[in-house]
Structure 1
Amino acid sequence: MHAERGGDDLALIASGSEVHVAVEVARRLAVDGVAARVVSMPCLEWFDEQSAGYQEAVLPSALRARVAVEAGSTQPWHRYVGLDGEVVGIDGFGESGSGAELLRLKGVDVESVERAARRVLEVSRHRDISER
């Protein structure tokens, strides 16, 4: 986990090769004072099998600003980001080219994930203000 202040502002969730993207986004956001936690979730099923206490420690329910990064189908990730979060991934198939180029073209890169994170943070800040 990469975080200052415990990653209280945002969760970036990724698996496998996407973790480095999440770590870089967390570093960029930290420059602006955003405390992001990077959650490496290599197996969704294993995470789901953990105790409720463990799951809450990793992804606190109060932390609604969440972005998941997935080079494949986004469908299973929506349950981890909730209604306020975003999933950055690829839902179409049949493209050809190098992996890095396709990920960039499909928006699964540092810049795209950072933009998603900033959108989610903005929504979260507005929600927090309106709930006061």
Structure 2
Amino acid sequence: MTTATNASTAPIRFESNSTASNMCGFTLMNSQVGVLIAHVLERLDNVKVTHLPSMIRVDGQGRFDVVYADVDEEAGEEEGWFNASEFEEAMSTHYGRMVHLDDRTIMFANPEDAAEYLDFDLKPIR
């Protein structure tokens, strides 16, 4: 028995939405370091962490910070063990604006919120 599917009635699994979501985030490798980062971020109220077989999805609303000292503590390591390069190695992709500082990585959903860190020119155009 064969079942035909009419394209106009088929459910849409993927769709595009160009409105602002106020979301930002990244994908981590499901590795020892990725799990440590995820455990730290799961404690934040505005962050949702989804563990998948080969990766960990981190989605945040508005802004959230990956504080390196918190990851050091979670790992039981000395301060300075976790840094931007360790983070970059564990992360595969991101969305939103990402800013690396000496002690943290900040994720912004709205690029204008990152202006002070990125030297955006937010002067009105006349």
Q: Does the alignment reach a TM-score above 0.5?
A: no
Higher strand share: 2
TM-score scaled by length of structure 1: 0.30
Where is the helix percentage greater, Structure 1 or Structure 2?
Answer: 1
Larger Rg: 2
